[in-house]
Amino acid sequence: MDTFQRIKKIVLEKIDVQEDRLTPDATLEGLGLDSLDRVELMFSLEEEFKIKIPDREVTIVTIHDVVNVIDKLAEEQHGEV
Amino acid sequence: MKRVAITGMGVISPVGNRTTVFFSNLMTGKSGVRRMTSDFSSQLSVKIAAEADFYPADYFSKKQIGALDRVTLMALAAASQAWEDSGITLAEEEKNRAGVYLGTGMGGSPSLDELFVQLYKKAASRVNPLFVPKIMSNAPASHVSIRYGLSGPCLTFSTACSSSAVAIGESFRQIKSGYCDVMLAGGTECLLTYGSFKSWESLGVLATEDPEDPSASCKPFAKDRSGFVLGEGAALLVLEEMEHAQKRGAKMLGEIIGYGSAADASHIVRPSAAGQARAIRLALDEAQIGPDAIDYINAHGTATAANDLAETQALKEVFGKRAYAIPVSSTKSMHGHLLGAAGAVEFVAAVLAMTNGAVPPTAHLRVPDPDCDLDYVPNRGRTGVDIKTIMSNSFAFGGTNAVLIARAL
């Protein structure tokens, strides 16, 4: 499964949403996630991908942004995706 | 001073998740006590509990289930029943005068247990960021206030087994003294965790399992009583200032007329008949009625050797000879001890007794105790009873005694 599929799977476990709404340009806000939901989602993604998402402001608006951030951090933190 | 009406009720319990089912099960003596379904029960000597057949997916979205502890989910489910039962709607400007008071003994216990597993068993270096808002004891009350937009006072009372009786009594005072017009009041408890059972087991107050019928293990007031069975659940009531309720043609389930709150101030776990009697008298005084006016008492009746004796003595002290003429039952015999939620669930049972003209039994009372010789409505409920005024007792570890009195309208 690629990064995008793995992210979709986690999001589908957490919110009731049709899978076809989880497109790369879907925004987290548009999917109904508030700031607390985002924090919790980031934690789950950290666990899944074995990475640490830094506390500093990371710009994540869309699912595409999530994929990019994870791929980048996975490469930095353990040289693989 | 304002009058306080009860206009809606909701319950999640080991004997039913709707007030109709709840009460009809109590009347038939149906017990929600059973062999536990949890897998850790093999490591316990006490293997029985009063579990609520409550499935959050029936009521909530995945997001809600992920973000809220079971204790909050139960409170919200009970609140939603009570709100619907009352038929109430509030204009924006009325919401400032509507509050939420809930009682809970331990708050988000399931999440706390999960946290400890992650920390001590799995040596996690970081844990789920939602633990704080899930575990904090005020979460249930806050989520109820958020759900209905109630911006009056939102408080959580923690006085062990009398927590939700206190919450109801304090809500009564809020309305009576004119601070609020509407209160959602009650309690919730959900601590059927491994740590909880081990702790309670060690204290020696849990019932030994009845060898013939596990569901009959809790025997209040009986000679062969051996303690209580832990349960989980929630109950919420809509309390409303009387004129506010009348103006909108609300259905009136009853009126709260007295609340007695008094501490034993003697021992951290051993009950005091004197402390209990004091709370009963305070409630009667506020209600401005004498002992003759009470038609049914829902007892604290935990089935411990100490409580049932103390409570019997307290009732005799306050009611004198009249005590023998009042039906007194412990519905804990069927729904178990719901700890922080007990006061509310039992007050709901008592109000339902009033609206149905029926007295639920004390189940499993087959061997009478000569020292507990009142009319505990043994084994069989009674219908066709004229019940105008009820009393509900909650006497807690720590000594906070709370007594509520309500009358029919």
Paired strand residues for B298:
B329, B392
Known catalytic membership, residue B300: yes
> Please, are residues B226 and B45 in contact by the beta-carbon 8 Å criterion?
no
Mind telling me how many Å the CA of B143 is from chain A's nearest CA?
14
In the set B143, B335, B337, B364, the catalytic residue is B337
Domain boundaries, given as residue ranges, for chain A: 3-78
Residue A80 has pLDDT above 90, yes or no: no
**Residue A57, pLDDT above cutoff 70:** no
The residues of A annotated with a catalytic role in the active site are 34
Residue A39 CA to residue A45 CA, distance in Å, equals: 10
Residues of B near A (Cβ–Cβ under 8 Å) read 61-63, 66-67, 126, 128-130, 133
Q: In chain B, pLDDT over 70 holds for what percent of residues?
A: 100
pLDDT per residue as tens digits for the range B8-30: 999 999 999 999 999 999 999 99
pLDDT-based confidence at A59, cuts 50/70/90? confident
User: Strand order in B296-298's β-sheet?
Assistant: B154-157, B98-103, B182-189, B233-241, B4-12, B254-263, B400-407, B389-395, B296-298, B328-329
- DSSP conformational letter for B105: S
How far apart are alpha carbons B200 and B203 in whole angstroms? 5
CB distance from A32 to chain B under 8 Å? yes
**What are residue B336's phi and psi, to 5 degrees?**
80, 180
pTM of the model: 0.95
Nearest CB to B129; choose among A14, A32, A39: A39
In CATH, what number does A3-78 get?
1.10.1200.10
| Interface predicted TM-score (ipTM) of this complex, two decimals | 0.80
The answer to whether A57 contacts chain B (CB < 8 Å) is no
**Is B129's CB within 8 Å of A40's CB?**
yes
CA-closest candidate to residue B168, choices B178, B153, B183: B183
Beta strands in B85-129 (DSSP E): 98-103
Strand B182-189 vs strand B98-103: parallel, antiparallel, or unpaired? parallel
Q: Which residues of chain B have pLDDT under 70?
A: none
Residue B126: per-residue pLDDT? 87
